[in-house]
Amino acid sequence: MRDYLLSLQARIEVLDPQSSQIKSIENEVLHFIHQFQDQLPLDKAYKPIPSMKGKMELSDEPLDLKGILNQLKNDMLNIGLNPASGGHLGYIPGGGLYTGALGDLMAAVFNQYAGIFYGGPGAVKMENELIRWLCRWMSYPESALGNLTSGGSIANLIAFVTARESKKIKAADYHKQCIYLSPQVHHCVHKAIRICGMQEAQIRMIRLDNKFRIDPEDLEYRIKEDISTGLIPFIVVGNAGTTDTGVVDPLDAIADTAEKYQLWFHVDAAYGGFFATVDLKGPDGISVKQKFAGIERSDSLAIDPHKGMFLSYGLGAVLIKNVEAQFNAHYYKAAYMQDTLNSQEELSPADLSPELTKHFRGLRLWLPLRLYGFEPFRLALEEKILLCRFFYEKVSELGFETGPFPDLSVCIFRWNNFRDDSNEWNKKILEFVVKDGSVFLSSTTIDGIFWIRIAILSIRTHLREIELCLQILKEAKSTVLPK
When the beta carbons of 251 and 270 are compared against ligand PLP, the nearer one is 270
Q: Which residue is nearest to ligand PLP, using beta carbons?
A: 152
Q: Does 114 bind ligand PLP (CB under 6 A)?
A: no
| Per-residue interface string for the shown chain with ligand PLP, residues 162-191, x marking contact by CB under 6 A | ------------------------x-x---
Question: How many binding residues for ligand PLP (CB under 6 A)?
Answer: 13
Q: Tell how strand 232-239 and strand 264-269 pair up.
A: parallel
Residues 284-343 that bind ligand PLP (CB under 6 A): 304, 316
When the beta carbons of 186 and 358 are compared against ligand PLP, the nearer one is 186
When the beta carbons of 103 and 246 are compared against ligand PLP, the nearer one is 246
Q: Which position among 94, 119, 120, 151 is part of the footprint of ligand PLP (CB under 6 A)?
A: 151
Taking CB under 6 A as the binding criterion, the range among 27-35, 146-154, 382-390, 458-466 that sits at the site for ligand PLP is 146-154
| Per-residue interface string for the shown chain with ligand PLP, residues 393-432, x marking contact by CB under 6 A | ----------------------------------------
Q: Does 147 bind ligand PLP (CB under 6 A)?
A: no
Q: Which position among 128, 162, 243, 300 is part of the footprint of ligand PLP (CB under 6 A)?
A: 243
Min dist CB 152 to ligand PLP, Å, is 2
Min dist CB 160 to ligand PLP, Å, is 12
| Per-residue interface string for the shown chain with ligand PLP, residues 69-98, x marking contact by CB under 6 A | -----------------------x------
When the beta carbons of 311 and 387 are compared against ligand PLP, the nearer one is 311
Q: Does 153 bind ligand PLP (CB under 6 A)?
A: yes
When the beta carbons of 236 and 473 are compared against ligand PLP, the nearer one is 236
Residues 246-285 that bind ligand PLP (CB under 6 A): 268, 270-271
Binding site for ligand PLP (CB under 6 A): 92, 151-153, 186, 188, 241, 243, 268, 270-271, 304, 316
